[in-house]
Chains A and B, each alone.
Chain A
Amino acid sequence: MKGPARKPLTGKRLRNLVLNVVTNPFNMIVLISLILLVCLIIIPLLQMIQTTFTLAQSELRRVNGKVGDFTLYYWKQLFASNLSSALLWQPLRNSLLIGIITSAISVPLGALLAWLMVRSDLPCKDFIGMLIIIPYMIPSWCKSMSWLAVFRNERSGTPGFLQGLGLPIPDWLAYGPIAIILVMTLHYYAFSYIMVSSSLRSVNSELEEMGEIQGANKLQILRYITLPLVTPAILSATIMTLSKSVGSFGVAANLGMRIGYFTLATKMHDAINNRQAGLGYAMALLLIIMASGTIFANQRVVGTRKSYETVGGKGTRRTPMSLGKAKIPLLVFLAVFLLLAMVVPMLILVMETFQVSTGRGYGWDNLTLYNWIGEVDPNSRTNHTPGIFRNPVFINALWNTIKLTIISSVITAFSGQFLGYISSRGRGKWYGKTTEQLVFVPYLMPSIAFSAIYLSMWSVPHLKGIVPSLYGTFTVLVLTSVVKHFPFASRAGTANMLQIGVELEEAADIAGASFWRRMGSIVIPLAKQGFISGFMLVFISIAKELDLIILLITPKNRTLSYLAYTYNKDALPQMADAVSVCVLVFVLLSYWIAYKFFGADIGKSWG
């Protein structure tokens, strides 16, 4: 079939065509959004790619040429120089190793827990289920702090809990790949748990009961019915875990740098900090390619199989599977796991903030409130840092964190609803698809690589100074946090807007309401609930962010996460712990508020 024939363009037709587009505010909003998205996402990416091919001032003593010349220097240095092994191959190997092993452990663990929680008759399911997802609320770098609190050895100057008990802790356990993998596993298992359990919940238990009627035993039902149905979710979880852990910075930095164990992300951070920006950006590009490669692979592999939506209108009644004799051992296993993985490390982390010197036990002589409220003794030669609540640096960081979190999440949530409105109303139209795709791009980039892009974009002024250099400003932190969270916010916005039927708006249109009136009287009042829960999830995610802003932070606008990271690097573990505890309390409190008052679901957060 053929589309409509072209019509001759008369003056009247042209005038009406232009009027039709211009007098519709929706068109204008789409136009402005698309321009902004291109400026905030595509141009910075291109700019960074360009930088990796452009000679910079710092390389002039090593390379012939002048600033701004085209060069392959950075890429050559990365791939084909005697430094390649140290710069690229070794860190890449480490990243992949960490990513693969982390996924290999955390996904089966998460899937098993999910099955136990959703389908089995394990006692105290509600309580355990809540404990299981708490790790996902705790920022991963906080977990590395508590790992250090337990396993630190004399290499850090201050011993950790076990070393204090007289157990010699070797470097390979305290720092490096094993530590990183275990800490990441304790973070990402919850991610798999969330994905697999929501998929399991959608499996109609009648499907399993039918297997039982056919004479299959429990193991056969699990193997031939349940598992194939949740395979897409498990695959997705694996690939997402891989992509996230390969690009993650905070944990790898806290636990690896002390012994010179680098991943691609930490090496990149190192390169940029050492004024080798071109090199760092090239590494950031590799990180982006790796992460987006896995995500595309996910869509290819899982996208086609996701069609097993097994949700039915009725029959979602679930009869739990009896665990029989395995019930008690499994319960004990879970209790021990949660105790060792979460409760004990967190307790040691908190206790460390009250210790005079770490690793010396909890006797009265070793307990102090100094780290919280102590004042600097002018006679002391060693201690220049007051307790955090008296430390202007901390107060400033706290204020910055609150400011950054509130401003960014408000902007993000609003933009998310707008973008969601455009994608939902533009379903199947070119602008809807374009918006959806543009908005998705930041999702493909590991946080630290994304901040590298913004670093390269905003460290110089543009358009002859009309757009100033934003490096070192608070604005660039806001901008980064906002754009990086676009994918999540706009997905939440789209889901929210799809709930508001187009017909509700059309009815108002026929009644004579203008676009803005429709927005004000129909769309916004109906979007409120979804808006608030989306807002809270973005809010929390920004509050705990470290990877995303670490490259952009300057002393003036430090945040709490960054402060904890610095204190840890400067061998001030108690202070670092105290700051971590503050972040922890802030985040958990926000979750509680979000859940209790706004019905936000942590399962929807992208952490």
Chain B
Amino acid sequence: MSKIELINIDKFYGDNHVLKNINLVIEDGDFMTLLGPSGCGKTTTLRVIAGLEKPQNGRMLIDGREVINCDDAYYEEPSKRGLNLVFQSYALWPHMTVYKNVAFGLKIKKLPAQEIDERVMNALRLMRIHELCDRYPNELSGGQQQRVAIARAIASNPKLLLLDEPLSNLDAKLRIDMRSELKRLHNEMGTTIIYVTHDQVEALTMSTKIALFKEGSLAQVAPPMELYMNPIDLQAADFIGNPRINFIQATGRLENGRLYVDSDLGSYVFEKEHFTNEPIPEGQFSCVIGLRPEQVIIEEQPSPGAIEAKVYASMPAGSETLVTLVVDKQELLAKQIGLADYHINQTVYLNIDPNKMNIYDEKSTRLIKLAV
């Protein structure tokens, strides 16, 4: 249980600036996910927090205690920070049994044998692998190895648990099982968790907060649903959400405190109360409408306000159906729950709630109108 503060952290590899002025506060008990494409600095951030990398600038506090101060070249050793880490590769010691892997850190802390045994078995039981304790890592499946790695990390009762893409080596089914397992673990232990992933579904489903990285900087820090509903710029919007968000070219104009937007879909007016704090340009300007595929509702019969569209392709997948549509020259992706069948070139009618649209200023790429 601890609060982590990163203050103006900079990390260079040679001349390569990999972390750019990172400021991040992780509250006690948070499940914070560091999300972003590969090479964006999320793992480096995690390793800085763990103490495996030394940043060149900035400070880091754990519960107000300074563990990094670059001005003084002070870096507290990883083992003194009261945290533990689960590696992407699991990093299980192949020459030790499951039991010994989990017990190693406790032995180094010179805990009494009985307490070690208790803690190891508790951790193994929590991960439901206590019957495997005499096996060697190479005798385990990927999912079991994963559980051992987590058991090893939690056996020392860390105040902070770091997880580096822990599910990326598991197959799709196991990954979903482990997601719920981790979410329960967080709930039961109440430990602060920092979780690195490039998989947005993991991030959205498990976290209490997501820090979205972009090329070494933090793009947005927000709870998952907020991040999904209102990504802060075009890139974030593009990254979050699967299938990806529709971008529709439009022109905007600010008049009497209202935003008028014209596009192939039609014309819309937005009230001031839903604006963000971003400045809106004067006069006419290019903007982009962001529209989630599930917000495009397809109807086979015309109704007032519905937009006529043609089916370009229909892709039923059982539980959902993706439909590519064309309105004038604008291509649009719709997601419909359940089975549906449209034939190619069929004319359909789209029902779209303008309140669910995000509006971005094309020039600054920033979000200017929130979806509500």
Task: Please list the residues of chain A having a beta carbon within 8 angstroms of any beta carbon in chain B.
Answer: 1-5, 7-8, 10, 12-13, 16-17, 20, 501, 503-504, 506-513, 517, 521-522, 525-526
Chain A, residue nearest B100 (CB):
A521
Q: Which 7 A-B pairs have the closest CB atoms?
A: A511-B105, A512-B79, A4-B56, A503-B91, A16-B73, A507-B91, A512-B108
Query: In the complex the two chains form, is A13's CB within 8 Å of B15's CB?
Result: no
Q: List 24 A-B contacts (CB under 8 A).
A: A1-B15, A2-B15, A3-B12, A3-B15, A4-B10, A7-B71, A8-B71, A10-B72, A16-B72, A20-B73, A503-B87, A503-B89, A504-B91, A506-B52, A509-B52, A509-B79, A510-B79, A510-B85, A511-B84, A511-B104, A521-B104, A522-B93, A526-B93, A526-B95
B85 CB contacts on chain A under 8 angstroms: 506-507, 510
Residue among B16, B72, B87 making CB contact with A1, cutoff 8 Å = B16
Residue among B10, B15, B72, B84 making CB contact with A510, cutoff 8 Å = B84
B203 CB within 8 Å of chain A: no
A16 CB contacts on chain B under 8 angstroms: 72-74
Query: In the complex the two chains form, is A504's CB within 8 Å of B93's CB?
Result: yes
State in angstroms the CA–CA spacing of A509 and B10 once bound together: 23
Bitwise, B41-78 to A at CB < 8 A (1) or not (0) is 00000000011100011000000000000111111001
Query: In the complex the two chains form, is A513's CB within 8 Å of B108's CB?
Result: yes
B108 CB contacts on chain A under 8 angstroms: 511-513, 517
List residues of B (150-165) whose CB comes within 8 Å of A's CBs.
152, 156
Query: In the complex the two chains form, is A501's CB within 8 Å of B91's CB?
Result: yes
Secondary structure of the B side of the interface?
A: mixed
Known interface pairs A4-B57, A504-B93, A511-B84; 13 further A-B residue pairs with C-beta atoms within 8 A, sorted by A's residue number? A2-B17, A5-B57, A7-B70, A10-B71, A13-B71, A20-B73, A507-B152, A511-B104, A512-B79, A513-B79, A517-B108, A525-B95, A526-B93
Chain B, residue nearest A517 (CB):
B108
State in angstroms the CA–CA spacing of A334 and B57 once bound together: 68
B15 CB contacts on chain A under 8 angstroms: 1-3
B283 CB within 8 Å of chain A: no
State in angstroms the CA–CA spacing of A517 and B104 once bound together: 11
State in angstroms the CA–CA spacing of A525 and B15 once bound together: 37
B83 CB within 8 Å of chain A: yes
Bitwise, B100-112 to A at CB < 8 A (1) or not (0) is 0000110011000
A17 CB contacts on chain B under 8 angstroms: 73
State in angstroms the CA–CA spacing of A526 and B104 once bound together: 16
State in angstroms the CA–CA spacing of A522 and B84 once bound together: 18
B94 CB within 8 Å of chain A: yes
B14 CB within 8 Å of chain A: yes
Query: In the complex the two chains form, is A506's CB within 8 Å of B91's CB?
Result: yes
B74 CB contacts on chain A under 8 angstroms: 12, 16
Query: In the complex the two chains form, is B89's CB within 8 Å of A501's CB?
Result: yes
A7 CB contacts on chain B under 8 angstroms: 70-71
The smallest beta-carbon distance between A273 and chain B, in angstroms, is: 52
Query: In the complex the two chains form, is B75's CB within 8 Å of A20's CB?
Result: yes
A510 CB contacts on chain B under 8 angstroms: 50-52, 78-79, 83-85, 105
A13 CB contacts on chain B under 8 angstroms: 71-73
B94 CB contacts on chain A under 8 angstroms: 526
A513 CB contacts on chain B under 8 angstroms: 79, 104-105, 108
State in angstroms the CA–CA spacing of A13 and B70 once bound together: 8
State in angstroms the CA–CA spacing of A504 and B101 once bound together: 11
Chain A, residue nearest B75 (CB):
A20
Bitwise, B236-278 to A at CB < 8 A (1) or not (0) is 0000000000000000000000000000000000000000000
The smallest beta-carbon distance between B162 and chain A, in angstroms, is: 9
Chain A, residue nearest B80 (CB):
A512
B57 CB contacts on chain A under 8 angstroms: 4-5
Chain B, residue nearest A510 (CB):
B78
Chain B, residue nearest A10 (CB):
B72
A507 CB contacts on chain B under 8 angstroms: 85, 87, 91, 93, 152
B10 CB contacts on chain A under 8 angstroms: 4
B56 CB contacts on chain A under 8 angstroms: 4
- Interface centre among A4, A8, A517, A522, by most chain B C-beta atoms within 10 angstroms, is A4
Query: In the complex the two chains form, is B12's CB within 8 Å of A12's CB?
Result: no
State in angstroms the CA–CA spacing of A3 and B17 once bound together: 7
The smallest beta-carbon distance between B186 and chain A, in angstroms, is: 20
B109 CB contacts on chain A under 8 angstroms: 512
- Interface centre among A12, A17, A507, A512, by most chain B C-beta atoms within 10 angstroms, is A507
State in angstroms the CA–CA spacing of A13 and B93 once bound together: 36
Query: In the complex the two chains form, is A512's CB within 8 Å of B91's CB?
Result: no
The smallest beta-carbon distance between A21 and chain B, in angstroms, is: 10
- Interface centre among B10, B17, B70, B79, by most chain A C-beta atoms within 10 angstroms, is B79
State in angstroms the CA–CA spacing of A136 and B100 once bound together: 45
B91 CB contacts on chain A under 8 angstroms: 501, 503-504, 506-507
A508 CB contacts on chain B under 8 angstroms: 93, 104
The smallest beta-carbon distance between A48 and chain B, in angstroms, is: 37
B87 CB contacts on chain A under 8 angstroms: 503, 506-507
Query: In the complex the two chains form, is A12's CB within 8 Å of B89's CB?
Result: no
A503 CB contacts on chain B under 8 angstroms: 87, 89, 91
Chain B, residue nearest A3 (CB):
B15
The smallest beta-carbon distance between A100 and chain B, in angstroms, is: 44
B83 CB contacts on chain A under 8 angstroms: 510
State in angstroms the CA–CA spacing of A466 and B37 once bound together: 60
State in angstroms the CA–CA spacing of A2 and B16 once bound together: 7
State in angstroms the CA–CA spacing of A13 and B56 once bound together: 13
State in angstroms the CA–CA spacing of A298 and B12 once bound together: 35
State in angstroms the CA–CA spacing of A501 and B88 once bound together: 12
B95 CB contacts on chain A under 8 angstroms: 525-526
Query: In the complex the two chains form, is A509's CB within 8 Å of B73's CB?
Result: no
State in angstroms the CA–CA spacing of A1 and B134 once bound together: 51
State in angstroms the CA–CA spacing of A8 and B50 once bound together: 26
State in angstroms the CA–CA spacing of A17 and B56 once bound together: 12
- Interface centre among B51, B91, B105, by most chain A C-beta atoms within 10 angstroms, is B91
State in angstroms the CA–CA spacing of A522 and B12 once bound together: 30
The smallest beta-carbon distance between A162 and chain B, in angstroms, is: 58
State in angstroms the CA–CA spacing of A7 and B70 once bound together: 9
The smallest beta-carbon distance between A514 and chain B, in angstroms, is: 8
State in angstroms the CA–CA spacing of A17 and B108 once bound together: 27
State in angstroms the CA–CA spacing of A510 and B83 once bound together: 8
State in angstroms the CA–CA spacing of A10 and B69 once bound together: 13
A506 CB contacts on chain B under 8 angstroms: 52, 78, 85, 87, 91
Chain B, residue nearest A509 (CB):
B78
Chain B, residue nearest A7 (CB):
B71
A517 CB contacts on chain B under 8 angstroms: 108
A3 CB contacts on chain B under 8 angstroms: 12, 14-15
Residue among B12, B75, B105 making CB contact with A4, cutoff 8 Å = B12
State in angstroms the CA–CA spacing of A512 and B82 once bound together: 10
Report if A511-B73 is in contact (Cβ < 8 Å); known contacts: A3-B12, A3-B14, A525-B95. Answer: no
B71 CB contacts on chain A under 8 angstroms: 7-8, 10, 13
State in angstroms the CA–CA spacing of A13 and B105 once bound together: 31
The smallest beta-carbon distance between B53 and chain A, in angstroms, is: 10
The smallest beta-carbon distance between B46 and chain A, in angstroms, is: 12
A504 CB contacts on chain B under 8 angstroms: 91, 93
A4 CB contacts on chain B under 8 angstroms: 10, 12, 56-57
The smallest beta-carbon distance between A339 and chain B, in angstroms, is: 46
B17 CB contacts on chain A under 8 angstroms: 1-2
State in angstroms the CA–CA spacing of A504 and B89 once bound together: 9
State in angstroms the CA–CA spacing of A507 and B52 once bound together: 10
Chain B, residue nearest A506 (CB):
B52
Chain A, residue nearest B149 (CB):
A507
Chain B, residue nearest A526 (CB):
B95
- Interface centre among B10, B51, B84, B93, by most chain A C-beta atoms within 10 angstroms, is B93
State in angstroms the CA–CA spacing of A507 and B104 once bound together: 10
Chain A, residue nearest B56 (CB):
A4
State in angstroms the CA–CA spacing of A388 and B156 once bound together: 66
A501 CB contacts on chain B under 8 angstroms: 89, 91
State in angstroms the CA–CA spacing of A12 and B69 once bound together: 11
State in angstroms the CA–CA spacing of A522 and B104 once bound together: 11
B84 CB contacts on chain A under 8 angstroms: 510-511
B72 CB contacts on chain A under 8 angstroms: 10, 12-13, 16
